[in-house]
Structure 1
Amino acid sequence: MTDLANTSTKPTIVVSDIDYRRLTDLAAAAHDRFRDVAEELLAEMERARVVAAAAVPADVVRMGSAVEFRSDTGQQRRVTLVFPGEADITANKISVLTPIGAALIGLSTGQSITWIARDGRQHELTVLSVG
């Protein structure tokens, strides 16, 4: 997946203490089945600034957030970030245990991040809005 050794190029992210616990547990439980994405999600949690749920700014992507973003190809999408059991691509609900889902968690409006798709290609996305 992504080169996790160089987190200095990644934007600062904020995660609630509740999401931090749930996502850390999820990544640990999924490690054997989805190693690359689980490791990416764990790395994101390790570098996150963890705050009380009430202190997470409204423009930060958290679990259940509707997020509009633009990809490096110019495509704009609106998705809801969900746990794996709730994922439904036809309803624009993407799992946090996907490369793009792990990349989105904790970002705020205006931030961009580079992520690696399952096919090995590097992409960049920019968060346009969070609701």
Structure 2
Amino acid sequence: MTTISLSDFSLSPEIILASSEHRLLLRLAMGGSGHTADDADDLLYELERATVVPDQFLPSDTVRMGSTVSFRTAEGEQKSVELVLPIDADIAEGKISVLTPIGTALLGLRTGQSISWRTRDGRRQALTVLQVQAPQLTDEPEPPTAA
């Protein structure tokens, strides 16, 4: 009897990105420093196939920069990571770069979607997004205090 898993399939679901992040990530991928050409090509491919929407119309359960994502691998392991720019990546803190194969794969997915991708050593992997927490906004002004 043969067992079939998610990693046996080529899954490439529709993805959605906010226009501001799409522009940022295009510049990152085309910048050419701090990553390999393959990493940049993979990100550019995902950016090209994404549906781009005005920031205010991005669904709240969409994986974007700064999101914390809980997912299940095809092997049944559950993980939680934060998607960040390469400069902020720290695997020990669960912060993965958007330019890693799994980071690129997660970008633009929504809760319940599954995707497959290839690791840098060519192995096929798959995951399913279980939950997305929106990024913490740190640029919000302090509320006024009563005098």
TM normalised by structure 1 equals 0.90
Question: Following TM superposition, by how much is the alpha carbon of 1:36 offset from its aligned partner in structure 2, in angstroms?
Answer: 1.1
* Alignment length (residue pairs): 124
Matching residue of 2:116: 114
Q: Deviations over 1:63-88 (max 9, x none)?
A: 00000001111111000000000000
Tell me which protein shows more helix as a share of its residues: 1
CA contact (8 A) 1:30 1:38 kept: yes
Unaligned runs of 5+ in 2: 1-9, 134-147
The reply on whether 1:26 has 2:28 as its aligned counterpart is yes
Which ranges of 4 or more aligned residues in structure 1 deviate by more than 6 Å? Answer: none
Match of 2:96, SS state, is strand
TM normalised by structure 2 equals 0.81
CA contact (8 A) 1:31 1:38 kept: no
- Aligned mates of 1:31, 1:42 — CA distance in 2: 15
Question: Following TM superposition, by how much is the alpha carbon of 1:10 offset from its aligned partner in structure 2, in angstroms?
Answer: 1.2
The reply on whether 1:94 has 2:96 as its aligned counterpart is yes
Unaligned runs of 5+ in 1: 1-7
> Computing the radius of gyration over CA atoms, which structure comes out larger, 1 or 2?
2
Q: Deviations over 1:81-107 (max 9, x none)?
A: 000000000100000010000000000
Identity %: 52
Aligned residue among 66, 69, 84 for 1:67: 69
